[in-house]
Amino acid sequence: MSGSATRLQAIAAVTNYKPISKPLNFIENKPGELFGTNVFGISEMQKRLPKPTFKSLKRTIESGQKLDPSLADVVAAAMRDWAIEKGATHYAHVFFPLTGLTAEKHDSFLVPDGAGGAMVEFTGKQLIQGEPDASSFPSGGIRATFEARGYTAWDVTSPAYILENPNGTTLCIPTAFFSWTGEALDKKTPVLRSIQALNIQAQRVLKLFGHTDRAMVFSTAGPEQEYFLIDRNFYFARPDLLNAGRTLFGARPPKGQEFEDQYFGVIPERVLACMLEVEHELFKLGVPVKTRHNEVAPAQYEIAPIFETANVATDHQQLTMITLKRVAEKYGLTCLLHEKPFAGVNGSGKHLNWSLGSATQGNLLDPGDTPHANMQFLVFCAAVIRAVHKHAGLLRAVVAYAANDHRLGANEAPPAIISVFLGDQLTQVFEQIRNGGAKSSKGSGILHVGVNVLPAIPKDAGDRNRTSPFAFTGNRFEFRAVGSSQTIAGPLVALNTIVADSLDYVATELEKATGGDPKNLNSAVETLLKKIITDHGTIIFNGDNYSEEWHKEATTRGLPNFRTTVDALPAIIDPEVEAIFEKHNVLSKRELQSRYEIYLEQYCKVIHLEANLTVKMGKAYIFPAAIRYQSELATTCANLKAVGYTFDTDTLDLMTALVKELQDSLAALEQLLDHKAKDLKAESEHACKTILPAMNKVRTVADRLEGMVADDLWPLPTYQEMLFIK
Ligand code: ADP
Ligand code: MG
């Protein structure tokens, strides 16, 4: 079958699509009753565990107290009974290696009973600890293959759940994954450590404000996921989508997103059916999905949950991505989580809404209604501003990878320059603090900057700014530079750690200045806030983040602007970053170094894969189509000339020139791929600064050819087909 036949068959298959899934019944299965049915959560534990066991576990989950390992056998037995009632035959330790993906190793509950039969077994030890053969997971030199031991350890703070499959179910246990030296090999371990660090420092600040209840302070996360859905027939006809997750070729469609008729538009029936089933599945897993809508680009959508504690939100986010992919298949669709599947069309991000709070204090970034709460709020808010200013480079680095470079650093939301949007009202409050002294404010007489008499700040304290990478949105910050395919773990670890360090600074300063006397708190806070806003206020920017003026101004303000992953990643091993990560016991120098190497290597692998695919597709798909058409043109020209017509050969000449250009650019790219760099850093530079531009050259020619070659010869589904035929 020729390439074009594959494409035309794909179109035919899409237009003949018949719904295959059996309809869901939300009347029989009420969403409320469905929620959490496949989760071994607090209520299931309470039902099934002896009271003291339950109480002890709950303390660990809710207050971060040390897990009592002697409980494991009892919990394991209860969990096993519950899982078997749900039809489980296997259990799996689920973990999150540094590939950013979810990994799971399944074991059967059955063991031989020694008498020719089998019995069900699941002990406390099996619950608590696993040992996957871990040699093939990236470790960045932390674990040589001869010492390949890696352990998984039960994370009691993230509930176990049942994963359903038409042919059976599996009990899944979220775990942390580390080497035999205790070094983190995964994304979860540092999340847990950073939550601990944030709690310790936030407690110190709360204590200064007179709160002594000691309820654990958690960071909270609400990640909004953007994604594309296209018909899977198109997906399978595009080797680039299949292998690289994005199109490496494709001319802009005549109609793009310029009509802005997609955003919040009516959701197509097949897509809505798919979304409903995604939500149905996620409800069962206890993932509190809430919002769904069409996004800006054609075929782009969004799903957002209600926020949860950071660790659970991270695991639930991974489940959301897996579920989107899995359920889409049932509807003949493919879910594309890549940051930029289609050039020239809006890419996908994952806005990470972040805050911190405790059961007794509530959300610590909620401005509240009372002056007293305002003062406390301003301290926490200032700590975040300071953290982001000091570590803008790190925040850029934790969202740096090949796919996200197409958003950040390109002319698309948000830019690579990290700044903070506060909104007019909060900015004014901080401006007044910076300028010191008394000021009048509209209608409310004298406003003393002694903070405690500032007016209550209404919850929606300002406008929205869609262009800011880090925006205050009423009672939380929204980190918008996170990419759609990435786990939120890395960004959360960075945020928790830099804010923990800032709170450490704040607490230390206030402890010193008050000398332990609460009467001195007001003036101490006033002085400290003034200092913070003077030293770190340059990170605040409320304007248009895309404007050229901002890029210039950011440079004068000394804010980093790392356009590519290669430029951004070294911030992970910056001595100042290493120092605070070690100080707060989140990641050691060696662990950070290993991560840096792994991410750099991943970058090189992605670019090399894409470059190889470009060569392969250029040669085996585009070139043959181009010469077929060229030959047709040439034959026509010759025939016409033979019968005496004077024939304009412009088209033929252009075709011939483009075919030559295609050949040349492919040869040049191929040559660049044959390259041995002296080290990883040099290799990544080569990939970024030499290979990528060479790939783009091939693409430019190929996309021009797409506009010329006869449509029935063109082998690849076009942008218009993929984005608009549903
Ligand atoms: P928008 O698209 O307007 O930014 P959405 O409703 O799509 O808003 O998403 C907002 C997200 O922010 C939700 O996931 C919500 O749960 C989350 N969120 C709200 N409050 C907090 C908080 N205190 N901490 C973390 N996330 C929060
Ligand atoms: Mg949203």
CB of 145 closer than 8 Å to CB of 179? no
Q: Which numbered atom of ligand 1 lies nearest the CA of 363?
A: 23
Q: What is the pLDDT of residue 193?
A: 97
Q: What is the pLDDT of residue 446?
A: 39
Tokens read off for 374: 């305002």
User: Which residue of 218, 224, 317 sits with most ligand 1 atoms within 8 Å of its CB, as the best mutation to test the pocket?
Assistant: 224
Beta partners for residue 323, in sequence order: none
Q: What is the pLDDT of residue 394?
A: 98
- pLDDT value at 443 more than 70: no
- pLDDT value at 438 more than 90: no
Ligand 2 centroid–CA 291 distance in Å is 8
> What pairing do the DSSP bridges indicate for beta strands 470-472 and 420-421?
parallel
- pLDDT value at 238 more than 80: yes
Q: Is 31 exposed, middle or buried (0-12, 13-18, 19+ CB in 10 A)?
A: exposed
* Span 194-222, average pLDDT: 95
Rounded CA separation 462/468 (Å): 14
Rounded CA separation 662/660 (Å): 5
pLDDT tens by residue, 317-373: 999 999 999 999 999 999 999 999 999 999 999 999 999 999 999 999 998 766 555
Q: What is the pLDDT of residue 194?
A: 98
Tokens read off for 512: 């010193």
Tokens read off for 114: 């020694």
| CA-proximal residue: ligand 1, atom 14 (nearest) | 222
Q: What is the pLDDT of residue 581?
A: 98
The 10 Å CB-count burial string (b at 16+, else e) for 613-645 is bbbebbeebbbebbbebbeebeeebeeeeeeee
468 close to ligand 1 (CB < 6 Angstrom): no
Rounded to the nearest 10 degrees, what angle do helices 623-642 and 3-15 cross at?
110
CA atoms in the 13 A half-sphere facing the CB of 54: 13
Rounded CA separation 161/65 (Å): 22
Rounded CA separation 652/639 (Å): 13
Q: Which ligand sits nearest to residue 464's alpha carbon?
A: 1
Q: Which numbered atom of ligand 1 lies nearest the CA of 222?
A: 14
CB of 356 closer than 8 Å to CB of 383? no
Q: Which residue bears the tokens 């031989």?
A: 112
| CA-proximal residue: ligand 1, atom 2 (nearest) | 224
- pLDDT value at 388 more than 80: yes
* Span 95-110, average pLDDT: 90
pLDDT top residue among 665 and 15 = 665
Residue 515 parent element (H or E): none
- DSSP for residue 619: I
pLDDT tens by residue, 522-552: 899 999 999 999 999 999 999 999 888 999 9
pLDDT top residue among 648 and 304 = 304
How many Cβ atoms from other residues are within 10 Å of residue 312's Cβ? 23
E runs forming strands in 209-332:
217-231, 289-294, 300-305, 308-309
* Span 565-569, average pLDDT: 97
Q: What is the pLDDT of residue 460?
A: 54
Tokens read off for 364: 């610590």
CA 41 to chain centre: 25
Per the confidence metrics, is the pTM higher than 0.85? Answer: yes
Rounded CA separation 535/530 (Å): 9
Mean pLDDT of the chain: 90
Ligand 2 centroid–CA 267 distance in Å is 16
CB of 492 closer than 8 Å to CB of 191? yes
Q: What is the pLDDT of residue 1?
A: 47
221 close to ligand 1 (CB < 6 Angstrom): yes
Ligand 2 centroid–CA 226 distance in Å is 9
CB of 359 closer than 8 Å to CB of 47? no
Beta partners for residue 107, in sequence order: 91
